[in-house]
Amino acid sequence: MSLQDIKSMTLAQMKDVFSQMGQPGFRALQVYRWLHRGVTSFDEMSDLSKPLRQALLERFYIASARVVRKQVSQLDETAKYLLALRDGECVECVLMKYHHGYSICISSQVGCKMGCTFCATGKSGFSRNLTASEILSQVQTVQMEQGVRISNIVLMGMGEPLDNYSNVLRFLELVSSPEGLNIGMRHISLSTCGIVDKIYDLADRKLQLTLSVSLHAPNDEIRGRTMPINKKWNVEQLLEACHYYAKVTNRRISFEYAMISGINDTDACAYELASRLHGILSHVNLIPVNDVTGNNYRRSSGDRLKRFVRILESKGITATVRRTLGSDIDASCGQLRRRMQEEEVQV
């Protein structure tokens, strides 16, 4: 029998399994608490009897994420990690320090299927989905390695979270559980390239998380050139889903917009974007595009960014230019793993 992933289980599921094993419910709670404190072996669960630890070992494994590489920015305290999973696959995550505390950007898949032309992860292809426990392990490992408490999570690392929907939903349930890390949904953001059917589903669940949508273009002509997903769901269908999400949850949607010189950063683009977002509870986050090896995209100038913001605001759309943390350490996710692949580094 193959070992089961115990850390992806909810407390209720664990109680069921424990009762089948003839164990009382409070034992399940003990184990759940240990797992969510980040232990990586049953032997560390010092208040369990040896036979019980042995029985657990025969039935389950504990997912973990091991630090393979860490880079710390000289400019700010941003730390970028490459973490190895049980099967040797690697994912990236980034810890950022803000005035209100620590925020972590985590991955949801090893690679990504979506193939956006500006994205390092997209260029590396897709390997596999992460389990809920692997997504959680990123938070735990970094928290323990840094000795800090992380208060905010953004699902904006490698992968498309809504393409690994059930595992991501489970992760959200685990990480927000009072017996676990207890990080509230209001402190969690999820970024998607626009998987429209899942946006509707997420809206109907009425979680209090923040939805970020990677829009990056005001129309199908430009978006279609950079984001293949636009062929499945176009800008109009995506914005309709966003409108629904904002209406049902009463939460402002954050639209991500990577400014690429000469492609999506003209005045005409700003006016078109403003008119399309009209009536949607939204905020636009402009990001100077990060140069990714081989894509020939140049970031827009500071003046261009400022003018774009001014046009949006003149039309009643709030917009900010995202502060780029860790720009000296390739802090946008996907870049470190890609470099490792290029160097063919053994981990």
Chain residues in the site for ligand SF4 (CB under 6 A): 112, 114-116, 119, 121-122, 159-160, 193, 214
Cβ within 8 Å of residue 206, ≥6 positions away: 248, 249
Cα(199)–Cα(253) distance, integer angstroms = 11
Residue 256 interface partner, choices ligand SF4, ligand SAH, none, CB cut-off 5-8 Å depending on type: ligand SAH
Residue from 103, 141, 167, 332 touching ligand SAH (CB under 6 A): that is: 332
Closest alpha carbon to 56 in 68, 72, 36, 41: 41
Cβ within 8 Å of residue 50, ≥6 positions away: none
Closest alpha carbon to 334 in 115, 150, 151, 146: 115
| Inter-axis angle of helices 235-249 and 196-205, nearest 10 | 0
Number of residues that bind ligand SAH (CB under 6 A): 15
Closest alpha carbon to 300 in 282, 273, 322: 322
Pattern 289-328, ligand SAH, x by CB under 6 A: xx-x------------------------------------
Residue from 124, 138, 191, 264 touching ligand SAH (CB under 6 A): that is: 191
Residue 111 interface partner, choices ligand SAH, ligand SF4, none, CB cut-off 5-8 Å depending on type: none
Are the C-beta atoms of 79 and 146 separated by less than 8 Å? yes
In angstroms, give the least distance from the CB of 53 to ligand SF4.
39
Can residue 193 be called a binding residue for ligand SAH (CB under 6 A)? Answer: yes
Closest residue to ligand SF4 in the complex (CB) = 122
| Inter-axis angle of helices 235-249 and 267-277, nearest 10 | 50
Can residue 192 be called a binding residue for ligand SAH (CB under 6 A)? Answer: yes
Residue 242, phi-psi category: left (phi > 0), alpha (psi -120 to 50), beta (remainder): alpha
Pattern 90-129, ligand SAH, x by CB under 6 A: ----------------------------xx----------
Cα(35)–Cα(33) distance, integer angstroms = 5
Q: Which is nearer to ligand SAH, 38 or 288 (CB)?
A: 288
* Beta-sheet strands, E only, within 130-235: 150-155, 188-192, 210-214
Cα(300)–Cα(264) distance, integer angstroms = 9
Can residue 287 be called a binding residue for ligand SAH (CB under 6 A)? Answer: yes
Residue 79 interface partner, choices ligand SF4, ligand SAH, none, CB cut-off 5-8 Å depending on type: none
Catalytic status, residue 145: no
Are the C-beta atoms of 267 and 307 separated by less than 8 Å? yes
Can residue 230 be called a binding residue for ligand SAH (CB under 6 A)? Answer: no
Catalytic status, residue 333: yes
In angstroms, give the least distance from the CB of 256 to ligand SAH.
4
Catalytic member of 90, 92, 112, 242 = 92
Q: Which is nearer to ligand SF4, 193 or 239 (CB)?
A: 193
* Interface residues toward ligand SAH, by CB under 6 A: 118-119, 156, 160, 191-193, 214, 256, 258, 287, 289-290, 292, 332
